Structure 1
Amino acid sequence: TKYDMCRRRKGGRCTKGTAGFAYVGGACVVNKRLEKVNSVAIIEDTGGFSGIIVAAHEVGHLLGAVHDGSPPPTYLGGPGAERCRWEDGYIMSDLRHTEKGFRWSPCSVSSFHHFLNGDTATCLYNSPHEDESLPRVLPGKLLSLDAQCRRDRGTSACFKDERVCAQLFCFDSGSGYCVAYRPAAEGSPCGDGQLCNSGRCQVEHENIIPDYSQQTVSYVRRNGQTVSLDGNSTISRKQSIL
């Protein structure tokens, strides 16, 4: 959404700064009695691709990951993330100042294992609907760095070098300073003919966008195990299905 999201406090006051919302472990959860669907997330994006990393963060919540440094929710159980520091700046933090902001912490991965091997995640084993393929174009090739800043703050980019891959600094007309709160979109130019890729400034290569279109393996649950329908692989409940 392009609407300015906020968090409503006691007394009705709404505090701005919320960029997304999702229920932890909400994937597949539909309460028909209460007419409540938890398997959704909402993201704020003003059109400059600022919501991409936020979307990954919220999907992480839906798949059972809590914020790094936090215990597991009582209703879900699992390993939680108390042994992973918020300050390390992985996806399930909001301190994304390095390339770690494009990666999951070990705690998040463990939480995914716990959730996806549980009984509430069975809806994720269905065969996905296939529609017309979208063009495989990195978003940073669709909007320049200045255009991304214009969408976010109505201004221009302060730097156009390798720094933008971890933090896109945009001029803030109110303070007169350069302000960064998210990285440039993947594929953004970062100088010397290179592009941003997972927080790094790298030379563009032919396979810079992973192609998963031919890797469509479906899974079902049989006798406590996750089994691929092609019969070529079996994954036990204690192993990863990611």
Structure 2
Amino acid sequence: MGQDDRVIHYTNETIHGMKTNYNSNKTQELSLDVLVVSDFLTYQAFLEMTNGDSHKAVHDLKVYLQAVFDQVKIIYDGISFNNETLHMVFAGTYISTQERDCPLWLSWAEDEEERVLNEEIRRLEEDESRWNSTVEDEEFMNTTALDSNSTEQLISSERRKKLRKFVDVTLEEMQENNSTEMALKMDSKKAVDKFTIWLKEQQGLPRHEHAVLITKFDLISINGNSATQGMAYVGNICENGDSSSVVEDIGAGLTSLIVAHEIGHSLGALHDGAYESADCDSNDNYLMAVAVSGSADHQSFLNSRKMSNCSINSIIENLKEPTASCVKKWKTKGSEKNAQKDFMKKPGETVNLARQCQIAFGPTFKPCLRLMVPIAVIICGASKAFAFRTPRNGWTAKT
């Protein structure tokens, strides 16, 4: 052995000391990297708003998706989990500018083709039956109808069983006030399934721990209800592909509320009033209420950006699971947190009132400033002066 050679002996004690010294300069915090994905229909909506300018459409859509995320971040910054804040980190965006890139489009096209084919088969069978039948037995026909109904109930029951690990959210106020129907519909459970598969198959997506798809598809519940506005897996945070949610884009602050709600499900919270959250009343309008409502009542409005104790406790318990370890990260002590926070524009500054009306209802809508009242809503109207209301909740200020 040469004079300059050194041999360093490591023991359990020296290794423990090294770990202690390393960790003494670190602190653990809760954070979640969120990827925001836009589907092809959402891109088309922005393309229409920009008069076919694809570059401006992509730019404006990125600004919008960032603004939606920023509002979600503001909501979670105001929630305490055992005196800790769960920081939302923007992982980036993915915009589907072509049909073939859209996570849901091919699925919808296949379903639509199957629906048309089945409808044609049914029509041909009816025509054949009409030609072949000379006598109609009324009792037999009634029995057949009863059997058909029983089959439908059996299928519905099976679908409910499969849907136990999913939860959706409806939006009361938008259903009451927004008469605009989205042209394309999709089963909400299938939408989450397809998005999950798409995430697992994609290469080169920004690194993330949860992905949310913003879509212009009208999400339909298992009962055929169009009021469903979002769906997610429950308690599957950090799991590749399964840590995901699908949210119907209804414009501005309400879309942000639903995104925050669905992320809450992925973190482990169920609806208030259900199962382990039975002690918390959904009517209190907290973030994890069954139906999100942009109420004009001040306290109800504030509650919509908070979580009930039941939701907070459910998330705290779920974060103890090894599968949720990605949320806990080591950070260097004294490092600047959110250094750009005070210099960043608020969501309402990047997406103005006019654009919020267009996103929610279409390119011909604009804010009716003379009808605005000092509550957290925007009143939008078209050329026929028919007014709609969409909450602007929190888009211009932190709540």
Inter-partner Cα distance in structure 1 for 2:242 and 2:280: 26
Q: Counterpart in 1 of 2:395?
A: 186
TM-fit CA distance, 1:84: 1.0
Inter-partner Cα distance in structure 1 for 2:384 and 2:330: 50
Instruction: Specify which of 9, 15, 20 is matched with residue 230 of structure 2.
Output: 20
TM-fit CA distance, 1:177: 4.6
Matches within 5 A, 1:55-94: 55-71=259-275, 80-93=276-289, 94=292
Instruction: Specify which of 96, 99, 108 is matched with residue 311 of structure 2.
Output: 108
TM-fit CA distance, 1:99: 1.4
Checking the alignment, whether the CA contact within 8 Å between 2:294 and 2:393 is kept in structure 1 is: no
Inter-partner Cα distance in structure 1 for 2:219 and 2:359: 19
| Amino acid aligned to 1:99 | L
- Cα 1:96–1:84 change in 2 (3 A) is farther
Checking the alignment, whether the CA contact within 8 Å between 2:229 and 2:247 is kept in structure 1 is: yes
Matches within 5 A, 1:92-171: 92-93=288-289, 94-97=292-295, 98-126=301-329, 136-154=344-362, 155-158=365-368, 159-164=371-376, 167-171=377-381
- Cα 1:84–1:139 change in 2 (3 A) is same
- Cα 1:8–1:18 change in 2 (3 A) is closer
Partner-residue secondary structure (3-state), 1:168: strand
Partner-residue secondary structure (3-state), 2:277: coil
Deviation string, structure 1 residues 94-153 (Cα, Å, up to 9, x no partner): 13421111111111111111111223312323469xxxx897221100222232112101
- Cα 1:16–1:172 change in 2 (3 A) is farther
| Amino acid aligned to 1:44 | E
Q: Counterpart in 2 of 1:7?
A: 220
Partner-residue secondary structure (3-state), 2:273: coil
Inter-partner Cα distance in structure 1 for 2:359 and 2:267: 30
TM-fit CA distance, 1:178: 3.6
Q: Counterpart in 2 of 1:45?
A: 249
TM-score relative to the length of structure 1: 0.58
Deviation string, structure 1 residues 164-223 (Cα, Å, up to 9, x no partner): 2xx43434889945434x434522xxxxxxxx322xxxxxxxxxxxxxxxxxxxxxxxxx
Inter-partner Cα distance in structure 2 for 1:111 and 1:183: 29
Inter-partner Cα distance in structure 2 for 1:174 and 1:84: 43
Inter-partner Cα distance in structure 2 for 1:16 and 1:146: 26
| Of 83-92 and 116-125, the range deviating more from structure 2 | 116-125
Inter-partner Cα distance in structure 2 for 1:176 and 1:47: 18
Checking the alignment, whether the CA contact within 8 Å between 2:218 and 2:226 is kept in structure 1 is: yes
Partner-residue secondary structure (3-state), 1:163: coil
Higher relative contact order (CA 8 A, sep 6+): 2
Inter-partner Cα distance in structure 1 for 2:249 and 2:287: 17
Partner-residue secondary structure (3-state), 1:19: strand
- Cα 1:83–1:8 change in 2 (3 A) is closer
- Cα 1:143–1:124 change in 2 (3 A) is closer
Q: How many residues align?
A: 168
TM-fit CA distance, 1:56: 0.6
- Flag the structure with higher helix content: 2
Checking the alignment, whether the CA contact within 8 Å between 1:27 and 1:121 is kept in structure 2 is: yes
TM-fit CA distance, 1:40: 1.0
Inter-partner Cα distance in structure 2 for 1:116 and 1:174: 51
